[in-house]
Amino acid sequence: MFTLHELLEASGGHVVGGRADAERRFPGGAFDSRRLRPGECFFALRDQRDGHDFVADAFARGAGAAVVERVPDGISADALLVQVASPLRALRALADRLRDRAPIPAVGITGNVGKTTAKEATAAALGARYRVLRTAESYNNEIGVPLTFLALEPSHEVAVIELGFYVPGEIADLCRLVRPRVGIITRIPERPVHYARTPSVEAIAAGKAELIASLPADGVALLNADDPRVRALAPRTGAHVVLFGEAQDAALRATDVHADGLEPLRFTVVCDGERAGVRLPLPGRQGVSAALAAIGAARALGVPLEEAAVALGTMERPARRMQVRRADGVTVIDDSYNASPAAVLAALDVLRGAGGRRVAVIGDMLELGSLSADAHEEVGRAAARSADVLVAVGELARTSADAARRAGLADVRAVADAAEALVLLKRLRRPGDVILVKGSRALALDKLADALTAKVSV
């Protein structure tokens, strides 16, 4: 939350439309007019599209103000417009000012797999004692992280912030805003997502290490003991290092893990001679690392082990990430948010333990560069072990289909897109089926998952 005075002072902007009430308050900011909440400030950013083309729509949806480089045509004279040299720089400057105003402790979370689940788990664990500001959805870049801080309120006591990486120095820059006291690195698999944008897996690891390098000496770096590449980053920080995982030498360790089909994950956490039972409302063993990291962050900020473990049961399930949805006689595992090789393999592992006929709808995994062919081959072989039926969606996924056939899976179908997949599934599906939906975001398999779980037959 911020005032017009704070916006003007931070950005160096000036009012060019509407009434300049310095004490006018805004509950947050947005750059997508479709996701704007009434009263928020719209930032007309230039990204894939020019935000100035959507200023009118933002006001129609209830925007309290718009931050612009130029005054768009067709805007009411009563609409509050703030003109600045760069809306993106104005957004960051305002976020920095609001962060200065509220120096609450922060937990930064990065990794190539599992960031969002770890973020939600950490927010739940800390929520046992604190009011938590957390990253909305997966807003983890130079736009999303500042927007998160625009929603900062005086009652917030701790921040949980997801940090993405595309170019060297990006996480280091974001950490100057976040100022993390605790840093979590989840996983950096051999075949990471967005590999095509980076020169090597080592470069990705170096980028992720910028988080723990930014920690203060009395901070805590939580590293995944079960991931050799993450574990090897320990020398990159001057903070206290805590290893979490199922490894024998993990200081924060999971034992007695029960990951049974679509049932919630259960395990026992052991730390410093204490033990507590954990129930995470998500299926799959991959949730162990997220839960342990969350408990580690909570303990670092004063939440007792037992309290943090119990609070994990209240975790909000991230939308379209191993989300179990049931309708019209079928169960859909909606994991359609995005896809990387490691995430697809983990989802197939959950499907393998499900009852009923198992149908894997697997789409292209994009941005893998030179790793693409081998990754799609591996997914096809895993599908042959995990599914009774494979529906491969997209051109790249045909490689998975071919690999599944060679591995002995008899019922394999290949389709061009989500629409064709839906037509096929209308014909194929049976009551009692368990259908996994997983693919890169560009394939829009979320719409397929929605259609399969509609209250009326599709």
Residue limits of CATH 3.90.190.20 in the chain: 323-452
At 371, the amino acid letter reads L
Dihedral angle, C-alpha 65, 69, 74, 76, nearest 10 °: 30
Q: What is the mean pLDDT of residues 214-232?
A: 97
Q: What is the mean pLDDT of residues 212-241?
A: 98
Take residue 241 and report the two structure tokens written for it.
């290092």
Residue limits of CATH 3.40.1190.10 in the chain: 102-314
Q: What is the mean pLDDT of residues 382-405?
A: 98
More confident residue, 203 or 276: 276
Q: What b-and-e string marks burial along 400-413, b requiring 16 or more CB atoms within 10 Å of the CB?
A: bbbbbbeeebeebb
Q: What is the pLDDT of residue 278?
A: 98
Q: What is the pLDDT of residue 318?
A: 84
Name the CATH topology of 323-452. Answer: Protein-Tyrosine Phosphatase; Chain A (3.90.190)
Q: Cβ distance 237 to 183 under 8 Å?
A: yes
Q: Give the predicted TM-score (pTM) of the model.
A: 0.92
Q: Could you read off the pLDDT of 340-371 as tens digits, one per residue?
A: 999 999 999 999 999 899 999 999 999 898 89
Name the CATH topology of 102-314. Answer: UDP-N-acetylmuramoyl-L-alanine:D-glutamate ligase (3.40.1190)
**What DSSP designation does 78 have?**
T
Q: What is the mean pLDDT of residues 183-211?
A: 85
Position 166 confidence tier, pLDDT thresholds 50, 70, 90: confident
Written in H, E and C, the secondary structure of 284-306 is CCCHHHHHHHHHHHHHHCCCCHH
What CATH number matches the domain at 2-87, 3.20.20.80, 2.60.40.1730, 3.40.1390.10, 3.40.309.10? Answer: 3.40.1390.10
Q: What is the pLDDT of residue 167?
A: 87
Q: What is the pLDDT of residue 195?
A: 67
Residue limits of CATH 3.40.1390.10 in the chain: 2-87
Q: Could you read off the pLDDT of 278-309 as tens digits, one per residue?
A: 999 999 999 999 999 999 999 999 999 999 99
